[in-house]
């Protein structure tokens, strides 16, 4: 029996003696990026109009720090309320009760479709439609009522507007995470005697969190930056605080740099926290993936 052998020109190279392929385009791209970075650094350092001494002067100004605290507070409150309402909306959209599912879908469509700035201005002017806000039985007696102008302050309007927007987005994020869990996981939990509540808390939710955390973290960062919109309703957030100062001193650029620096600091901290949560909820999945890769690598090596 004659065996065919590959000609020398078609023989495979030995991996132990193979050399890394030269990639000149990577070197060219690296040099180009280094030149751009150096030019940007030169521009930032040598342009006196940035007024870095003014930036340093106002970076820890009490009014700026107070505005920063308001910005973070608004983001946390809007995210907390949005998470609770979004979870309820996600459950409603996955419900078998059609009217509840339709109502939740309509809610998400409306509050995702209207720009946040429009919603903030609308809620701030709610007193035009409802001079008095009351609680009672529909078409029946009232239990309590309040003056809408006194109740709807800039803080109230900001919390309502941001929370409604966040709840609509988070509803879709949570719904996608719950749908991403294999239905077989629920069947297995049911076979083990878990109640529906135990199945959700111990099986479905921990697996869904791996899908929910990344977009929810990004949404938290988005609402933090979106709090800058509340300056249009005279809310004393970070942007409004620096605007008050530069309207008095006319040092617009350095004060805007102060705001940018604080936004970057807070977003960086939130990003680190998001990465930690992602690793925490992906531990089992990451370990299983690594184990499968090692198994495949070992079997390929044995076959060779």
- DSSP track, the chain: -PPP---GGGPPPPTTTPPPPP-HHHHHHHHHHHHHHHHHHHHHHH-GGG-HHHHHHHTT-HHHHHHHHHHHHHHHHHHHHHHHHHHHHHHHHT-S-HHHHHHHHHHHHHHHHS-HHHHHHHHHTGGGT-SEEEEE-TTS-EEEEEEHHHH--HHHHHHHHHHHHHHHHHHHHHHHHHHTS-HHHHHHHHHTT--HHHHIIIIIHHHHHHHHHHHHHHHHHHHHHHGGGGGGGT---HHHHHHHHHHHH--HHHHHHHHHHHHHHHHHHHHHHHHHHHHHHTHHHHHHHHHHHHHHHHHHHHH-
The tens place of each residue's pLDDT in the chain, 304 residues long, gives 455 555 555 455 555 566 677 677 888 888 899 999 999 999 888 888 888 888 999 999 999 999 999 999 999 999 999 999 999 999 899 888 899 999 999 999 999 999 999 999 999 998 888 888 888 777 777 777 788 888 888 889 999 999 999 999 999 999 988 888 888 888 888 888 888 888 888 888 888 888 888 888 888 988 898 888 888 888 888 999 999 999 998 889 999 999 999 999 999 998 898 888 888 777 765 555 445 545 544 444 444 4
């Amino acid at each position: 029996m004659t065996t065919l052998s590959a000609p020398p020109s078609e023989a495979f190279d030995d991996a132990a003696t193979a050399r890394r392929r030269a990639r000149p385009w990577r070197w060219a791209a690296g040099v180009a990026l280094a030149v751009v970075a150096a030019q940007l650094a030169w521009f930032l350092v040598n342009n006196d109009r940035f007024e870095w001494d003014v930036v340093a002067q106002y970076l820890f100004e009490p009014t700026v720090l107070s505005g920063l605290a308001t910005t973070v507070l608004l983001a946390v409150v809007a995210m907390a309320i949005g998470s609770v309402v979004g979870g309820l909306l996600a459950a409603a959209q996955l419900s078998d009760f059609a009217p509840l599912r339709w109502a939740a879908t309509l809610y998400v469509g409306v509050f995702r479709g209207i720009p946040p700035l429009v919603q903030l201005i609308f809620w701030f002017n709610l007193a035009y439609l409802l001079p008095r806000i009351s609680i009672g039985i529909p078409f029946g007696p009232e239990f309590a009522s309040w003056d809408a102008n006194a109740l709807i302050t800039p803080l109230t309007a900001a919390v309502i507007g941001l929370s409604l927007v966040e709840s609509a987005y988070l509803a879709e994020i949570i719904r996608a995470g719950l749908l991403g869990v294999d239905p077989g996981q629920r069947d297995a939990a049911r076979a083990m005697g878990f109640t529906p509540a135990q199945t959700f808390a111990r099986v479905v939710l921990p697996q869904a969190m791996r899908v929910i955390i990344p977009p929810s973290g990004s949404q938290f960062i988005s609402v933090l930056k979106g709090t800058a919109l509340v300056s249009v309703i005279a809310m004393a957030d970070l942007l409004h605080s620096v605007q008050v100062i530069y309207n008095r001193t006319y040092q617009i650029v350095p004060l805007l740099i102060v705001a940018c620096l604080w936004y970057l600091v807070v977003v960086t901290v939130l990003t680190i926290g998001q990465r930690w949560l992602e690793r925490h909820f992906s531990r089992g999945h990451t370990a299983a993936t690594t184990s499968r890769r090692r198994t495949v690598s070992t079997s390929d090596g044995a076959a060779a």
